[in-house]
């Protein structure tokens, strides 16, 4: 009975917010009183956050929105102008109201209740089938045949939602190969938002129109610089397909982004002014940058960025996000932005990955597991040994430019995998943890002194939370918990 009442309250609240958003968006689209409308949205956010609202931050936002010439106001106004009304409303409802406001509250409660990580987003692979064969792509190492059934994908979302997760990202393989099932899933879970990492090749007008109508799907399109650097890795004709997909998504008023793997060979091409302006003009509004990881037996470690290139990435991405830049595109660097999210987000701390065989892995790059969606619930996955080792170990390094237990602290992944008995999950080409981590040892050693120098030269804001075992670290007797280099010893 209590559950039913709660459900009705939720539906009524969602409906009321939907009506308000309709009004806000109409005002914003008419370009009249935009500042006043933004201020009303901030007031609404404050109301929903309740006691959890950070007054200082909200007041700073209020000041910022008052000037339409501010860099990010120009950016937001452009997104408002270019986005379909229904799509924008559904995105705000599902990402803003469901995920940020309701979801975050539920997640925080469940972290305490279950004493484990509870994620904000779950990444899963509908299928490993892919029509491309990119150089250095680890996904092929799982084999191209495995797929999750619709029922398994539905189980992931249903159980994830109960824990508070309303954001799902889909990779693979090429997720659009399973577009009918994805549409079914997005329709059934119309209070969630789905982001597809896609190679673009199957996106067409019909697909984009259905996406617009549903309003709760976006795409992160793979693209790597110029036609030359892109097609060298992804195959001839891919660049053209990505450009065409962007035109289609823009035409249908869909907010979309990019997924960019930076390597020793393309780092300059994927961060040039010309490339950013091209993405901007094509309608891409945000981009995830991923450092090439030497995962899998067919990895190409020689393509990992050099120390100098990684330093350059830190400066370049931060510049593009700074008020000085005029690029209307928001890039995020998965490897260098650790400080904004408290270090490694994997193991369910903010996210985890379920591969197309159903194995739950702490991160899309960490192919080890003790648990599978065919036999376990999402909560059981989060409480499985390797995930609990992540929970106990995070943050893995005080220096959040060295966040990863594999890339920058490879000894830690060895320790965790050995201590938890997690098995490797690459079916076609098994790779043990020593083989994987050996490819990171030299990189980690070379990067450490440079990263430490950068970290020491900057001031850092304390993240709002790192994890829930943090209290332990604040006790001096636990100093022995750390290795001499600042990385954390894992006690499982």
Residues in touch with ligand SF4 (CB under 6 A): 344-346, 363, 365-366, 403-406
Nearest to 490 by CA among 433, 435, 449, 447: 433
Q: Could you tell me the sign of the dihedral formed by the alpha carbons of 178, 183, 189, 194, in that order?
A: positive
386, 153 in Cβ contact below 8 A?
Answer: no
How many Å apart are CA 286 and CA 220, to the nearest integer? Answer: 9
Q: Which is nearer to ligand SF4, 110 or 350 (CB)?
A: 350
Burial of residue 14 (number of CB atoms within 10 Å: 0-12, 13-18, 19+):
middle
How many Å apart are CA 363 and CA 345, to the nearest integer? Answer: 8
Tokens coding 271 = 């961060």
Q: How far is the CB of 219 from ligand SF4 (least distance, A)?
A: 21
Tokens coding 8 = 């009705």
Q: Which is nearer to ligand SF4, 24 or 390 (CB)?
A: 390
Q: How far is the CB of 346 from ligand SF4 (least distance, A)?
A: 4
Tokens coding 45 = 């956010």
Q: Could you tell me the sign of the dihedral formed by the alpha carbons of 268, 273, 279, 282, in that order?
A: negative
How many Å apart are CA 451 and CA 446, to the nearest integer? Answer: 9
Q: Which CA distances in Å does 232 have to 220, 224, 238, 256? A: 20, 9, 10, 24
291, 334 in Cβ contact below 8 A?
Answer: yes
Q: Which is nearer to ligand SF4, 224 or 333 (CB)?
A: 333
Enter the DSSP assignment of 138. Answer: S
Nearest to 383 by CA among 166, 107, 158, 118: 118
What element of type H or E holds 194?
strand 193-198
Nearest to 444 by CA among 328, 293, 338: 293
Q: How far is the CB of 405 from ligand SF4 (least distance, A)?
A: 6
Q: How far is the CB of 30 from ligand SF4 (least distance, A)?
A: 42
Give the contacts of 478 (CB within 8 A, at least 6 positions apart): 472
How many Å apart are CA 2 and CA 88, to the nearest integer? Answer: 32
Strand, coil or helix: what is 289?
strand
CA angle 450, 347, 307 (to 5 degrees): 15
Q: How far is the CB of 24 from ligand SF4 (least distance, A)?
A: 34
How many Å apart are CA 105 and CA 261, to the nearest integer? Answer: 33
How many Å apart are CA 27 and CA 406, to the nearest integer? Answer: 48
Q: How far is the CB of 483 from ligand SF4 (least distance, A)?
A: 17
Q: Bridge partners of 332?
A: 288
Nearest to 349 by CA among 462, 469, 483: 469
421 conformational bin, left if phi > 0, alpha if psi -120 to 50, beta if neither = left
């Amino acid at each position: 009975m209590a559950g039913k009442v709660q459900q009705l309250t939720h539906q009524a609240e969602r409906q009321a917010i939907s009506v308000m958003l309709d009004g806000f968006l109409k005002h914003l689209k008419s370009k009249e009183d935009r500042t006043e409308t933004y201020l009303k949205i901030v007031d609404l956010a404050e109301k929903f956050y309740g006691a959890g609202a950070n007054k200082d931050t909200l007041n700073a936002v209020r000041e910022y929105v008052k000037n339409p010439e501010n860099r990010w106001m120009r950016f937001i106004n452009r997104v408002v102008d270019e986005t379909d009304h229904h799509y924008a409303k559904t995105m705000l409802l599902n990402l803003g109201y469901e995920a940020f406001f309701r979801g975050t509250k539920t997640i925080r409660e469940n972290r305490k209740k279950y004493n484990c990580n509870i994620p904000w987003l779950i990444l899963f692979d509908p299928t490993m089938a892919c029509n491309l064969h990119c150089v250095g792509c680890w996904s092929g190492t799982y084999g191209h045949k495995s797929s999750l059934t619709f029922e398994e994908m539905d189980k992931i979302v249903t159980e994830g939602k109960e824990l508070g997760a309303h954001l799902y990202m889909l990779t693979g393989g090429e997720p659009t190969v399973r577009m009918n099932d994805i549409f079914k899933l997005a329709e059934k879970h119309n209070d969630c938002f789905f982001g597809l990492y896609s190679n673009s090749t199957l996106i067409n007008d019909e697909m984009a129109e259905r996406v617009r109508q549903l309003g709760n799907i976006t795409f992160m399109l793979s693209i790597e610089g110029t036609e030359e650097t892109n097609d060298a890795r992804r195959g001839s004709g891919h660049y053209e397909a990505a450009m065409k997909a962007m035109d289609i998504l823009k035409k249908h008023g869909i907010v979309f982004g990019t997924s960019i793997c930076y390597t020793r060979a393309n780092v300059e091409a994927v961060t040039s002014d010309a490339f950013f302006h091209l993405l901007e003009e094509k309608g891409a509004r945000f981009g995830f940058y991923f450092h090439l990881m030497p995962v899998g037996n067919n990895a190409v470690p020689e393509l990992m960025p050099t120390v100098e290139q990684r330093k350059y990435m830190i400066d370049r991405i931060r510049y593009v996000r700074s008020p000085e830049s005029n690029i209307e595109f928001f890039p995020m660097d998965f490897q260098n932005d650790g400080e904004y999210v408290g270090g490694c987000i994997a193991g369910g701390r903010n996210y985890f990955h379920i591969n197309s065989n159903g194995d739950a892995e702490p991160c899309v790059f960490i192919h080890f597991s003790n648990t599978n969606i065919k036999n376990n619930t999402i909560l059981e996955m989060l409480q499985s040994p390797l995930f609990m080792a992540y929970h106990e170990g995070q943050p893995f390094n005080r220096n959040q430019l060295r966040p990863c237990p594999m890339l920058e602290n490879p000894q830690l992944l060895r320790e965790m995998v050995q201590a938890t008995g997690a098995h490797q999950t690459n079916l076609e080409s098994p790779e043990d943890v020593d083989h994987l981590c050996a490819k990171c040892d030299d990189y980690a050693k070379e990067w450490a002194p440079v990263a430490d120098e950068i970290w020491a030269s900057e001031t850092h804001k304390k993240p709002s939370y790192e994890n829930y075992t943090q209290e332990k670290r604040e006790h001096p007797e636990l100093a022995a918990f750390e290795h001499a280099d600042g990385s954390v010893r894992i006690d499982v």
